[in-house]
Amino acid sequence: MQSDKSRIFTVLLILCTIISLCFYSCAPDSSDQSDLNIAEQNAVSASDTTNAQREDMIVAGGCFWCVEADMEKAPGVIEVISGYSGGQIKNPDYDNYAEGGHREVARVIYNPEQVSYKGLLYYFIKHIDPTDAEGSFTDRGKQYSPAIYYETEEEKKDAREVLADIAQRNVFEEELKVPVLPEEPFWMASEYHQDYYKDDTVQYTIYRKFSGRSSFIEEHWGEQADVIPDSLKQ
């Protein structure tokens, strides 16, 4: 599966280069810069939080570069860490995590005084394809499939309520296929994969655009993509 992703990257890079020579620039637009600024603002405000104001959640929504980038822009988020979870092998890395049964996941650390667990899950579901159990956009396989990992029975109940609420809104033609699973050990990915959207902005922008993730979110949620219902914010 890793070789498939590498081939996809190569094809996308070649395609983007050709388009660039004709009429397209791969540099991030003003909205990309705005997204980076939002993440930086969240990081600054997070520096004042205490341990009592920190909780975390583990979610899977396909490529962890994209999940990390989106979740770092959510209100109340302190930090997002890319990693692996759900598999059988210990200390997985990017070469063997899929073989070991892990998914790419993001550990989201947030301030519960600024955003609720349910509110953050609602935001998360809006930024993935929750109808695809076989992968995510151009990335195929269980390692890219969506999931919510709960730590307590209350979180399990909350996650199912969020999914039920979104399902009844009929935003998607297909049923939601996001399993709610018991939390398992989280293994942090290498430094190369942390904040990839900041450190390798051009390649990330290419990958993001041609994966179809952004257009999917825009199609289904439009200007409401970043909106958390007031009843779920805290």
Amino acid 46 reads: A
63 is catalytic: yes
In this prediction, residue 30 has a pLDDT band, given cuts at 50, 70 and 90, of very low
What is the per-residue pLDDT across 205-229, written as a single tens digit (0 to 9) for each?
A: 999 999 999 999 999 999 999 999 8
- Structural domains of the chain, with CATH: 2-232 (3.30.1060.10)
Considering the entire predicted model, what is its pTM? 0.81
Please state, rounded to an integer, the average pLDDT across all residues of the chain.
85
Catalytic residue among 16, 22, 26, 63: 63
